[in-house]
A = this chain, B = another copy of it.
Amino acid sequence: MSTVLHNDNQEQAVGVGIIDCDVHVHPLHPDVIKAYLSQPWKHRFQIWQNTYYKSPVEPTQTVPPGGGKPGTDVDFLRMQLLEGCGIATAILLPRASTSIFHDPDHASAVATAYNHWLSETWLGTHNADGAFKGSITIAHQDPAAAAKEIDRWAGKPHFVQVLMDSGARAPFGQRQYYPIYEACARHGLPLAIHPGTDGMGTNILASQGYPSHFLEYYAGVSFAMQTHLLSLLTEGVFERFPDLKIVFTEGGVAWLPALMWRLDQEYKGLRSEIPWLKKRPSDYLRDHVRLTTQPLERPVSDRDLQDLLSMFDYEHMLLYSSDYPDEHFASPDSLSFLAPDIRCKLLSDNAKQLYRL
């Protein structure tokens, strides 16, 4: 197996410090996380790790030479992702899948354990050069506990955003979530929403029920992201929290024009329902919403994609991400169809500004 990912490094010639906004790192074994848990969660975490869903698309290229799960070996990741693809900074999103737990105390305990682990390892002993920036994992099932968790880690070295799963029992615009947004705004931290436990038998996909195949589940993740964006916009979260930034990660991009056109159109007739909005729903996007590029929908014709992206302020709203170490990893070259100045914004400038790097 080659350890060289497809990337001809042409982006290094652009001279930007590339920032990868969706990199997943994992503990080598779930026991690593158990060490940070007290009882009864230590026992119950054992139950979870034995039953957790196994993806039908396990990565092959990114397995470390010594074996083990992709994204567990810091030296290999530095060699393969940072050096191999010319990436200067990796924003780390651990996959604690906290929304899988029905017990909110259990979910919050696992979030805390992951944050301790990330802080001590990838953001601590493995991070002399500061190339790794991290996400504060929270469990949105208990917004007050989540806010405390944000308060605990905000300002600690190298934490640059908050992270929660898309799988939820209520859309993210609703009021029970406000403590999370207050905490993010208080600390100036963007909030990333990542696909997680909203399908595959652990939660339901949509009112239409459970999907049968991973492809069906995965291509449908964009519906979960759209549901949350729709809720955040219509409930007025961006009026109430004018500094809040939301990063939709790994949910696709090309659906945005259709949703925004529809929403602006319905707003004309239905604005009396949501009088807290001071402008059209789409007018909040540039100030509050970012989307990571992997998986970017790729039609046969790059021209079609370019035309569609031009229908919203993609130059400022998109953030490059590789989704390393997943099998569908995308190198910076995946954006080579864009003009160099725009590519530079997506690869570096937009993330620098968002994360204050």
Interface residues of A (CB under 8 A from B): 56-57, 166-174, 198-199, 203-216, 218-220, 222-224, 226-228, 230-231, 234-235, 252-255, 257-259, 261-267, 269-270, 273-274, 295, 297-299, 304-305, 307-308, 311, 327-328
Cβ–Cβ < 8 Å partners of A57 in chain B: 269-270
Residues of B within 8 A of A210 (CB): 170-171
Q: What are 8 A-B pairs at a CB distance below 8 A? A: A170-B209, A171-B208, A174-B212, A215-B274, A219-B263, A261-B305, A265-B298, A266-B295
The docked-state distance in angstroms from the alpha carbon of A262 to that of B216 is 11
Given A255-B255, A297-B261, A299-B311, does the pair A231, B212 have CB atoms closer than 8 Å?
Answer: yes
Q: With A209-B170, A252-B262, A258-B255 in contact, do A215 and B231 touch (Cβ < 8 Å)?
A: no
Closest to A235 in B: B212
CB-CB < 8 A to A222: which residues of B? 258-259, 262
Asked if B295 contacts A265 (CB within 8 A), the reply is yes
C-alpha gap A23/B210 in the complex (Å): 31
**B215 touching A207 by the CB < 8 A rule?**
no
The reply to whether A166 and B258 contact each other, CB–CB distance below 8 Å, is: no
A262 in contact with B219 (CB, 8 Å): yes
Residues of the B chain whose Cβ atoms lie less than 8 Å from the Cβ of A230: 211, 216, 219-220
Q: Is the CB of B215 within 8 A of A266?
A: yes
Q: How far is the CA of A206 from the CA of B199 in the complex (A)?
A: 11
Residue of B nearest to A218 (CB): B266
- Which of chain B's residues have a CB closer than 8 A to the CB of A311? 299, 304, 307-308
The complex places the Cα of A245 from the Cα of B199 at a distance, in Å, of 28
Counting chain B CB atoms within 10 Å of each CB, the highest count among A56, A173, A261, A264 belongs to A261
Interface contact A167-B273, CB-CB below 8 Å: no
The 10 A-B residue pairs with the shortest CB-CB distance, nearest first, are A254-B258, A261-B297, A170-B209, A215-B270, A255-B258, A223-B223, A208-B227, A206-B206, A198-B207, A262-B297
List B contacts of A169 (CB < 8 A): 208-209
CA distance A283 to B191 in the complex (A): 38
List chain B residues, Cβ under 8 A from A231: 208, 211-212, 216
The residues of B that contact A214 with a CB separation of less than 8 Å are 270, 273
A77 to chain B, nearest CB (A): 22
Q: Which residues of B contact A213 (CB under 8 A)?
A: 234, 270, 273-274
What 5 new A-B contacts, CB under 8 Å, besides A57-B270, A212-B231, A261-B297? A214-B270, A218-B270, A252-B262, A255-B258, A261-B305
Bound form: Cα–Cα A217–B207 in Å: 12
| CB-based nearest B residue for A169 | B209
The residues of B that contact A259 with a CB separation of less than 8 Å are: 219, 222, 255
Q: Is the CB of A207 within 8 A of B199?
A: yes
Q: Are A258 and B258 in contact (CB under 8 A)?
A: yes
**Chain B residues, CB < 8 A from A216:** 171, 173, 230-231, 234-235
Q: Are B304 and A269 in contact (CB under 8 A)?
A: no
A136 to chain B, nearest CB (A): 22
Taking the closest CB of chain B, its distance from the CB of A35, in whole angstroms, is: 32
- A307's partner among B207, B228, B261, B307 (CB-CB below 8 A) is B307
Distance between A272 CB and nearest chain B CB, rounded to angstroms = 8
Q: Determine the distance from Cα of A235 to Cα of B208 in the docked complex, in whole angstroms.
A: 14
Q: Which residues of B contact A212 (CB under 8 A)?
A: 171, 173-174, 231, 234-235
Q: In the complex, what residues of B have CB within 8 A of residue A173's CB?
A: 212, 216
